Amino acid sequence: MTEPVALLSALAEPTRLAALRLLRDGGEHCVCELMRTLGASQSRMSRHMAVLKAVGLVTDRRDAQWVRYRLRADMPPSMSAVVQAVLALSDTAENLRSAA
């Protein structure tokens, strides 16, 4: 089990949170796609994904030149609950922004 504080620290960063929102579709996404979509530099995105991986939020897989990231499937329930709640919160924040 990752320390709760470490998990929260990983989530408390805009680019990482946005990346999780993209990974929520259950699919695999390479760094190059994430960096383009989120407007982050290549090295930055790589490091951000490493942070998410370190706390067990995502898994990665080599596929030829690409590294495919996806939401970790076998997350502990209590951790998954936090992720779900955080994503839902970021949804409401997003909705409020677009409604304004």
Partner DNA sequence: TGCCCTTATGCGCATTAACGCAAATGAAGA
Partner DNA sequence: TCTTCATTTGCGTTAATGCGCATAAGGGCA
Tell me: does residue 44 bind a second copy (CB under 8 A). no
Q: How many angstroms separate the CA atoms of 20 and 31, rounded?
A: 13
Q: Which one of 32, 75, 79, 82 is in contact with DNA (CB under 7 A)?
A: 32
Return the one option of DNA, a second copy, none that residue 4 interacts with (CB less than 5 to 8 A, by type): a second copy
Tell me: does residue 54 bind a second copy (CB under 8 A). no
Tally of CB atoms within 10 A around 81: 11
Contacts of 100 (CB under 8 A, 6+ apart): none
Q: How many angstroms separate the CA atoms of 33 and 37, rounded?
A: 6
Q: Which residues make up the interface to a second copy (CB under 8 A)?
A: 1, 3-5, 7-9, 11-14, 17, 76, 78-79, 81-82, 84-86, 88-93, 96
